[in-house]
Amino acid sequence: MTNSLSRIPPVKSEKSKCIIMLHGVWSNEVDLFALEANFPEEYSIFSLRWPFDLGGGRYAWFPVDFSTGAPVYRSADVERGYESIVAYIREVTEQYAIDSEQIYLMGFSQGAIMSYYTLWRSPELIGGIIALSGRLLSEIDVSDRDQNKYSEKRVFIGHGTEDRVMPVSASELTSKFVWDIGLEPTLRYYPIGHTISRDEIADIVVWL
């Protein structure tokens, strides 16, 4: 598989989970993969990088223009990022014979944005999401939803109370979205900025 890093357990267990990591904007697949040692060795870990090259080893799931003070992006670019994630999930599921219910997207910042979007669009492909320091896109419309599609999904939301890049209020709004589709999210706050703490990872491992 291209544009990714992976850690495959030597012995496959039917109950072992799979985590697909989605980095934030201006980053790459190496970033979140540095956390793989924190997860049990029986977990399959993949860290994905796609599809927009911003230069200098930095990438994004969709380009964003902040020149006006507010994020401006194209829905077509979001769709391309989403399609690349879905294609990768399908590839992992087929190549490694992993049950889709054991697959979790773990996204940070823009990666969390895409995790929410993928959950909304293709819940049948994953067991749940771990959304860290993210928010919802305006494209997500909870008024047109079938709660039966989401009934077995799990959601962990983590956010730093000192985050100046993505305000903590963003996760408060996203937790409402999760409730609106019939789920009970686990919501945790941490005394950090726009980053991931050891306590946060420890909580995620327990939650999984």
Indicate the domain borders of the chain. 4-207
**What sign has the CA pseudo-torsion 189, 22, 170, 17?**
negative
- Local confidence band at 146 (pLDDT 50, 70, 90 cut-offs): confident
Q: Which two tokens stand for residue 41?
A: 């060795």
Q: What is the pLDDT of residue 69?
A: 75
Give whole-number Cα distances, 54 to 24, 50, 59, 200, in Å: 12, 11, 5, 29
Give whole-number Cα distances, 6 to 13, 79, 107, 160, in Å: 17, 24, 16, 27
Task: Give the pTM.
Answer: 0.94
Measure the CA–CA gap between 105 and 3, rounded to whole angstroms.
Answer: 16
What's the mean per-residue pLDDT of the chain? 91
**Lowest mean pLDDT across 10-14, 96-100, 118-122, 203-207:** 10-14
- Local confidence band at 180 (pLDDT 50, 70, 90 cut-offs): confident
CA proximity to 18, closest of 116, 92, 119 = 92
CA proximity to 114, closest of 199, 31, 193, 50 = 50
Q: What is the pLDDT of residue 30?
A: 95
- Local confidence band at 1 (pLDDT 50, 70, 90 cut-offs): low
Query: Looking at domain 4-207, which of 3.40.50.620, 3.40.50.1820, 3.40.1190.20, 3.40.630.30 is its CATH number?
Result: 3.40.50.1820
φ/ψ of residue 48, rounded to 5: -105, 145
CA proximity to 49, closest of 35, 60, 41 = 60
